[in-house]
């Protein structure tokens, strides 16, 4: 892995429920709830919740597609 790859990872990672909530425009409690239910693509490092911005954006796009598909059916 190169230094450039490490820079990309560092800027892609959201550390903590507050950072994830701010990125998604949701309350922090909603992040904890979704993480506990396993419905939000996050991972833990010890007790800290982390997520990749790129993974969250892809997940949101998948959710939008699923919603459109359900409405069309």
Q: How many CB atoms lie within 10 A of CB 35?
A: 18
- All domains of the chain in start order, with CATH: 3-72 (1.10.10)
Would you write out the chain's pLDDT as a tens digit for each of its 73 residues?
Answer: 566 666 789 999 999 999 999 999 999 999 999 999 999 999 999 999 999 999 999 999 999 999 998 888 7
Cβ atoms of residues 19 and 48 within 8 Å: no
pTM for this structure? 0.84
SS3 content of the chain, % helix, strand, coil (to 5): 65, 15, 20
Cβ atoms of residues 32 and 17 within 8 Å: yes
């Amino acid at each position: 892995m190169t230094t450039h790859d490490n820079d990309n990872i560092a800027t892609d990672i959201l550390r903590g429920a507050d950072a994830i909530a701010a990125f998604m425009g949701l309350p922090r409690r909603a992040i904890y709830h979704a993480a506990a239910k396993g419905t939000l693509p996050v991972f833990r490092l010890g007790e800290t919740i982390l997520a990749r911005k790129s993974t969250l954006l892809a997940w949101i796009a998948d959710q939008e597609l699923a919603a459109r598909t359900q409405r069309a059916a």
